[in-house]
Amino acid sequence: MQRYAVFDIDGLPRGLYSEDVHGAKLLPVYAESNDQFGENLIVDWKPNPACIIPIDAVEITDVQWKELLDFPSARRWDGSDVVEYTPPIPEPEPVVTVLPAVTLWERLTEDEADQVNEVMATQSVRTQRIFTTANTFRSDHELWPLLEQMATDLFGEERATSLLAI
């Protein structure tokens, strides 16, 4: 009994087929006369129109069949054999800090706010306007590193971390 499988582009099984259930892919073509022992001789093979095994199915061994059945999501076809498969672990989404602008200003002392204002005055007009009109400061924004650097340079790493925490 022949066994077959269809695999997706990554080699993961998408269908398993067996000739005893799905029909033989090929049927024998016999010689018109019997051999000397009275048995029909197979002279060729022809496609079986009743077979429902897909044309792109790959012939596999009984051992490979069992591996695919026993471990359907942990095995894949590498083009010639069934091999162990460990799905890739997706990279976690980066954590985005969203700090309301008012919260940052409320956390600053009067002296710290003056220092931030002085440093911001040295920035480009565009950067100044972004910081003064922003409702929030986001860690995924292009200017977040500037905000972190400025806070660290002015107040030290520990104070900068507490100022920019959510």
Question: Which amino acid, one-letter code, is at 117?
Answer: N
Over the chain (166 residues), what is each successive 10-residue block's mean pLDDT? 91 91 86 68 85 91 93 89 90 92 95 95 95 95 95 96 92
User: Where in the chain are the domains?
Assistant: 3-84, 98-164
* Ramachandran assignment for 51, one of left (phi > 0), alpha (psi -120 to 50 degrees), beta (any other): beta
pTM (2 d.p.): 0.50
Which value, in Å, is the radius of gyration of the alpha carbons in the chain? 35
